[in-house]
């Protein structure tokens, strides 16, 4: 649900004139469709080139930073901080408390400050927190860092989805969001290899290997966050330099047409009530929980599981990579065929 402001549309579009629809009226949506322009393929290629890689990289680093504690555990995190298993598990869990609590507030701020300001800002914030995690010497310090990390990261994924919806039509979004979501699998694959390399720095500067994992990956995030200020373009109506005037107009027209007749409606609590009473929302929530619960569990504890199979810590870090490579290709293949055949339920069930 999007809150539409009189002075600034949340997706950066020109004002769309509302129509009056009576309760029993039948709307023929075909009359709102504009035939696809043959130049749209070129336009989409431009959008994909300038928007998708940046958002994917940002989400990759986001996911890497929230699960790298599993790799740090193999390199002596628990022994160094004298953590019990219960304390370590608590450090894993508290991240999600603030992550859930701050998702909606973060998106509200996003709409006020614009994506090019807010997304890089929260990225720099969690990059700093990640770097500081390498300095902790107690259970309480690690808990505090994980709580702040969850709050800082909470706005990225929903913010990225909102951002992409400001450029693409609805039927074009699923493939792009699949690419974005596949960054989680890439982070898992990349994280194991990266942690293996970084852990070889143990002893440098008198620092343990697990601390270097947090230092290096945190600094990487801060650097990319600074670059994101220059890489993220806000909305089509801002006339970004990578598009011509005609392409900006076409992007706006496509989104106006795709939005349909309901875009002139203003926010009302009736809409909020309707959303809470929509049974499909709860089914989707259950599906998403069923997907993410095992995925996060695997991401956080797979290094420990592999080590438990008899592999030494450095080999265990490398052995976590293959499942994520397979997951990446599975995600992209499923998304491709789901889009090609315009079928969702069967692929979700599979």
The mean per-residue pLDDT over the stretch 34-49 comes to: 79
Mean per-residue pLDDT over the chain, rounded: 82
Whether 28 is in a domain gets the answer no
CB 73 within 8 A of CB 192: no
With b for 16 or more beta-carbon neighbours within 10 A and e for fewer, the 265-278 pattern comes to eeeeeeeeeeeeee
Whether 288 is in a domain gets the answer yes
Dump pLDDT digits (tens) for 288-298. 888 888 878 77
Whether 284 is in a domain gets the answer yes
The mean per-residue pLDDT over the stretch 96-116 comes to: 91
Whether 15 is in a domain gets the answer no
* Total number of domains constituting the chain: 1
Which span out of 81-95, 174-188, 315-329 was modeled with the highest average pLDDT? 81-95
Q: What is the CATH number of the domain that holds 325?
A: 1.20.1250.20
Whether 151 is in a domain gets the answer yes
CB 149 within 8 A of CB 67: no
Whether 59 is in a domain gets the answer yes
Q: Which long-range contacts (CB under 8 A, 24 or more apart) does 272-280 make?
A: 272/1, 275/1
Confidence label for 267 from pLDDT (cuts 50, 70 and 90): low
Whether 158 is in a domain gets the answer yes
Confidence label for 135 from pLDDT (cuts 50, 70 and 90): very high
* pLDDT (0 to 100) of residue 197: 86
Whether 82 is in a domain gets the answer yes
* pLDDT (0 to 100) of residue 10: 42
Range(s) of the domain holding residue 106:
37-247+271-349
């Amino acid at each position: 649900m999007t809150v539409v402001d009189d002075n600034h549309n949340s997706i950066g579009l020109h004002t769309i004139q509302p129509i009056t629809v009576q309760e029993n009226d039948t709307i023929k949506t075909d009359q709102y469709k504009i035939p696809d322009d043959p130049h749209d393929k070129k336009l989409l290629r431009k959008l994909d080139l300038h928007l998708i890689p940046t958002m994917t990289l940002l989400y990759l680093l986001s996911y890497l930073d929230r699960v790298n504690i599993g790799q740090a555990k193999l390199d002596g995190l628990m022994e160094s901080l004298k953590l019990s298993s219960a304390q370590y598990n608590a450090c894993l869990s508290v991240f999600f408390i603030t992550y859930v609590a701050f998702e909606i507030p973060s998106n509200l701020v996003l709409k006020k400050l614009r994506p090019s300001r807010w997304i890089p800002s929260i990225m720099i914030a969690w990059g700093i927190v990640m770097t500081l995690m390498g300095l902790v010497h107690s259970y309480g310090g690690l808990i505090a860092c994980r709580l702040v990390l969850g709050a800082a990261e909470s706005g990225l994924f929903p913010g990225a989805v909102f951002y992409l919806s400001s450029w693409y039509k609805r039927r074009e979004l699923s493939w792009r969001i699949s690419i974005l979501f596949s960054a989680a699998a890439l982070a898992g694959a990349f994280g194991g290899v990266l942690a293996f390399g970084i852990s070889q720095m143990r002893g440098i500067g008198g620092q343990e290997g697990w601390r270097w994992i947090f230092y290096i990956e945190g600094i990487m995030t801060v650097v990319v966050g600074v670059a994101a200020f220059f890489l993220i373009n806000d909305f089509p109506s801002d006339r970004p330099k990578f598009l011509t005037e005609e392409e900006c107009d076409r992007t706006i027209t496509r989104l106006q047409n795709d939005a349909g007749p309901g875009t002139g409606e203003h926010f009302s609590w009736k809409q909020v009530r309707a959303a809470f009473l929509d049974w499909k929302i709860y089914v989707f929530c259950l599906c998403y929980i069923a997907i993410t619960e095992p995925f996060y569990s695997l991401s956080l504890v797979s290094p420990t599981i592999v080590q438990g199979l008899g592999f030494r810590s450095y080999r265990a870090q490398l052995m976590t990579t293959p499942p994520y490579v397979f997951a990446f290709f599975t995600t992209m293949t499923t998304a491709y065929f789901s889009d090609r055949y315009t079928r969702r339920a069967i692929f979700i069930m599979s």
